[in-house]
Structure 1
Amino acid sequence: MNFSLASANPLTQDAELGDVLILLAADGLDLGEPLQAGLSLLVKRALAAGHWSTDSGKRLSLYLPESRPAARVELLGIGDGAPARIRDALAKLVKELAVDPLKLAVCFAQDATDAQWTAAMTAIAAGGHVYGTTKPSARGGLKKVLLGAPNAATRKSSLAYGKALVAGMTLAREWANRPGNHATPGMLGDVARHIAAQARKDGGHGQLECEVLEQKQIEKLGMGSFLSVAKGSDEAPRFIVLRYEGADDSQRPLVFVGKGITFDSGGISLKPGAGMDEMKFDMGGAASVLGLFESLRLLRPKINVVGLIPTCENMPSGRALKPGDVVQSMSGQTIEILNTDAEGRLILCDALTYAERFQPQAVVDIATLTGNCVLALGHLRSGLFSTNDVLAHELQRAADESSDLCWRMPMDDVYGKDLKSNFADMANVAGRLAGAISAAKFLERFTGRYPWAHLDIAGTAWDEGAAKGATGRPVPLLLQFALNMAEQPVDFGPSVAQQQSQADKVAAPSRTAKTGKVAKAAPRSKSGKRAG
């Protein structure tokens, strides 16, 4: 989407503003005196007559003389000016206007903050997005967007940030919206390669590299859990590794792991037919990691970041994984499959083991993992799971700053007790209750060597019903977190396993992430449990 700064304040000056001007006004609007005979005078008359107010979402359409730069003006109230108010009101209006291609101007009547500026840009991008990849009849969209405010001259850095964020969200939204036959694991690998190739073409600070591992390479790594999910599909799996190096080699990277199930039928534990089409969105975590790297490509912050995407389909066939099967993960731990529809954790666990080789500052996995999380938090907040208080705090801070909200969930050990199995080191599901937490407790068993957090985005990655489509979340949260760490690095401290050397509950030998070979078992503590 082509964003640029408007050359003048439309309340006081005439300037080229395109086909439609949206004027955003918050509470306390003061137009000053004397008023020119123009838009400012019309706004004051509308307020005085009670035909319009600055309450959030209040609208008034005006048609100006042909001599004015914009023939149509939409006055839009944004209440107290909170980013959420701006997003909700503006996205709805832009979607209504963008049924036809147009040149749009969006201007604040008062000085705008960074957060307001970003909220306006993401709202415009959401409302103006038109998916057309597999819909040739799709019409509308925005040709160009001009942004203005009385203090617009000071918002150039906000504009650059907003452009990068919108680009990342748009890429994530596009690929999550694509149906499974237009977003295969191989195609996701091609997107990742394209991002890296574009970064090399752009030049500038930092390097962005991509490696896409194919099935034989994945087999060589010993990723038996990941590969077990892919067995039922004719589409070959991929393991995507993206590396952005914007800081010194000595700086340990942040690692983001995105679940990339490009279509989830449930496997042998087949999902109900109603709504199964939405399972094309089950690669929302992978899409958000790709979107993050698109944003990093444009911003080039001074930080090192790794993106890991295990991607495959989960399909039923004669070769497919069966309930009761036991598979061995890259860590060496074995898993009894009680439900093949709990497949996301099976591909993530091997990626989490692979992450060890980067000696990361912290690892965050992002996944449309459980319907249980949607029941708990709805579509407003992503679920945040971590036993590391510092990491959880920083992710929560990034969520609040980006208005891409999350909520920290409990991680008491009792929630993982029902993962026990008589036939393997663990089962892949526990009981029906608190399923989002037991899924996180499953993943935790593969993260003892670094600080770790899990984001369950099942409720936030896409909208349902008439508005069905990908949201581009949680790219804003991830980008804000990475930029915060670039600006002021935080010591997340040792992992839980390092803090409590007696707390490792895994009795099986594990494979080293670097070689895939079985490592020697750790010594037992007095309790009989292995030390981490």
Structure 2
Amino acid sequence: MDCKTLVSAPEATSRVSADAILLLVVGDTLPAAIDPTLAEAVQQAVTQGDLALKAGKSAYLGRVAGLKAPRVAVAVAKDGSAKALKSAALAGLGLVKGLGVKHLAVQLAAADAPPADTLAEVLAAAAAEVVYVYRATKPSAPAAPALAKLTLLVAGKAEAAAAAQGFARGAAIAEGVGLARELANLPGNHCTPSVLAAQARKLGRSHGLKVEVLDRKHCEALGMGSFLSVAQGSAEPPKFIVMHYQGAAKTVTPLVLVGKGITFDTGGISLKPGAEMDEMKFDMGGAASVLGTMRAIAELKPKLNLVAIVPATENMPGGRAVKPGDVVTSMSGQTIEILNTDAEGRLILCDALTYAERFKPAAVVDIATLTGACVIALGGVRSGLFSPDDELAAALQAAGDAALDPCWRMPVDDEYDEALKSNFADMGNVGGRAGGAITAAKFLQRFTAKLRWAHLDIAGTAWKQGAAKGGTGRPVGLLTHWLLSQAK
């Protein structure tokens, strides 16, 4: 989508050429500095009861005499926060998305305006969310809304410059979110480990990234017994994907993202119930978000070095599948008693974390749809954040808040580690039901002694159920904001 800014006096909106104008009103009154023709139309809608200047309200006014644009919509935000503005923008965009609008001009009516870059980023994200339509395996799906150009009306050159930066950031994140959503939404037979590797290579070619894909033999040579134990029940070959973005000198230590890439999770021998098992195609949401983040970073070109690691495999039952009670040896040399084959995400991530050590990273963040326990704890609003590093955790939380992609820090007390003890190996791969999301994080922590590490459990946030069923693209926004903050 083409996102632009236009310097225009608030009272000159009537002369703006666009297919539609969206007026975002903050609060319960219209500011004085607004086009009088537009203000009169809004006030008339209020008088007639078609619109209330209250948070969450919106109205389509149609054609307004005296305005060059043939359509006008109004949406009211509770305040000038990014969250409130995005909610209002989504409502306003929803009013015009089916009307053939190709060019939408947006004006903010607020006594105290938020930073222009914040508003622009919010608009880019909202517009991308509204126009996204999954069509890869559904050709009968309706065409995407026609919206191709978004213009933010600002009052001066300083605001225009700030808004341009916000649009660039928002558009790049939106592209990353879109890629993550598309990959997650693909059925398991359309997004195998090999397809995921091909997507990584395609992204490498289009955005100048170095991409390596290790096959089973390479992983065997490296001693990735934990990762390969999950893969051994599937006819689909595993792929261990490594991507490199270099935006700084080679001497600058990189940051590392690790994304769980279970392209379909049956639970293995510890078979899941049949109900809602189709949603286990989303179990590669961590991998999808890492690829999406790599795309956003490659678009924005910050001065940092970044490595993305995606261990990709299916988790299937079969004659060769790993069994409960089996003991495997991880790349770190630690042995693991597999008590439940449905706790497979941690088994592929642990070898990826050990592999990350070779880069001597400044920090490592793994992202995984890891536990149903995290869904019970936090629902679908916030991702779970686990880290023993206060500074790293605070930076990730701040990034999530800035991106409207929030997380919540969970404990990693040493006492939780007791649940992983095994009589037959260095550890079991599960504890009891109590604190399941925490013991999963504690399992991963056993492979991070040489790393500054954080873990994001996105089991509740990577996809939605019900009428809006599908991938969300989270936490691409959080990760991108965090990486940009590290570049500074």
The equivalent of 1:77 in structure 2 is 76
- Cα distance per residue 1:406-453 (max 9 Å; x no partner): 110011111111111111111100001110000000000000001100
The equivalent of 1:124 in structure 2 is 127
The equivalent of 2:179 in structure 1 is 171
Say whether residues 1:188 and 2:196 are aligned partners: yes
Say whether residues 1:162 and 2:170 are aligned partners: yes
TM-score (norm. length: structure 1) = 0.86
Name the CA shift for 1:286/1:408 in 2 (closer, same or farther; >3 Å).
Answer: same
Of 106, 113, 118 in structure 2, the residue corresponding to residue 115 of structure 1 is: 118
- Provide the secondary structure at the position in 2 that maps to 1:211: strand
Mapped partners of 2:334, 2:393: distance in 1:
27
Q: Given residue 103 of structure 1, which amino acid in structure 2 is its aligned partner?
A: K
Of 141, 149, 172 in structure 1, the residue corresponding to residue 153 of structure 2 is: 149
- Cα distance per residue 1:268-295 (max 9 Å; x no partner): 1111111111111110100111011101
- Runs of at least 5 residues in structure 1 that lack an aligned partner in the other structure: 201-207, 488-532
Mapped partners of 1:98, 1:458: distance in 2:
30
The equivalent of 1:442 in structure 2 is 443
Deviation at 1:320, TM superposition (A): 0.9
Once the two structures are overlaid, the 10-residue window that deviates more, 102-111 or 336-345, is 102-111
- Cα distance per residue 1:475-512 (max 9 Å; x no partner): 1110111110100xxxxxxxxxxxxxxxxxxxxxxxxx
**Cα RMSD (Å):** 2.0
Deviation at 1:218, TM superposition (A): 1.3
Q: Matches of residues 31-430 of structure 1 in structure 2 within 5 Å?
A: 31-32=31-32, 36=36, 38-47=37-46, 51-64=50-63, 68-95=67-94, 97-99=96-98, 102-110=101-109, 111-113=113-115, 114-143=117-146, 144-151=148-155, 153-154=160-161, 155-200=163-208, 208-430=209-431
Deviation at 1:35, TM superposition (A): 5.5
Mapped partners of 2:41, 2:426: distance in 1:
72
Q: For the Cα contact (< 8 Å) 1:99–1:141, is it kept in 2?
A: no
Deviation at 1:87, TM superposition (A): 2.7
- Provide the secondary structure at the position in 1 that maps to 2:434: coil
Deviation at 1:15, TM superposition (A): 2.3
Report the identity percentage. 51
Once the two structures are overlaid, the 10-residue window that deviates more, 118-127 or 149-158, is 149-158
Q: Matches of residues 488-503 of structure 1 in structure 2 within 5 Å?
A: none
Name the CA shift for 1:167/1:11 in 2 (closer, same or farther; >3 Å).
Answer: farther
Mapped partners of 2:444, 2:471: distance in 1:
25
Deviation at 1:166, TM superposition (A): 0.7
Deviation at 1:140, TM superposition (A): 3.1
- Provide the secondary structure at the position in 1 that maps to 2:32: coil
The equivalent of 1:501 in structure 2 is none
Q: For the Cα contact (< 8 Å) 1:86–1:123, is it kept in 2?
A: no
Name the CA shift for 1:195/1:30 in 2 (closer, same or farther; >3 Å).
Answer: same
Deviation at 1:373, TM superposition (A): 0.4
Q: For the Cα contact (< 8 Å) 1:195–1:297, is it kept in 2?
A: no
Q: For the Cα contact (< 8 Å) 2:75–2:91, is it kept in 1?
A: no
What is the number of equivalent residue pairs in this alignment? Answer: 478
Q: Matches of residues 469-480 of structure 1 in structure 2 within 5 Å?
A: 469-480=470-481
Once the two structures are overlaid, the 10-residue window that deviates more, 189-198 or 334-343, is 189-198
TM-score (norm. length: structure 2) = 0.93
- Provide the secondary structure at the position in 2 that maps to 1:180: coil
Q: For the Cα contact (< 8 Å) 2:81–2:114, is it kept in 1?
A: no
Q: For the Cα contact (< 8 Å) 2:223–2:331, is it kept in 1?
A: yes
Deviation at 1:81, TM superposition (A): 2.4
Name the CA shift for 1:86/1:463 in 2 (closer, same or farther; >3 Å).
Answer: farther
The equivalent of 1:524 in structure 2 is none
Name the CA shift for 1:87/1:463 in 2 (closer, same or farther; >3 Å).
Answer: farther
- Runs of at least 5 residues in structure 2 that lack an aligned partner in the other structure: none
Q: For the Cα contact (< 8 Å) 1:176–1:281, is it kept in 2?
A: yes
- Provide the secondary structure at the position in 2 that maps to 1:308: strand
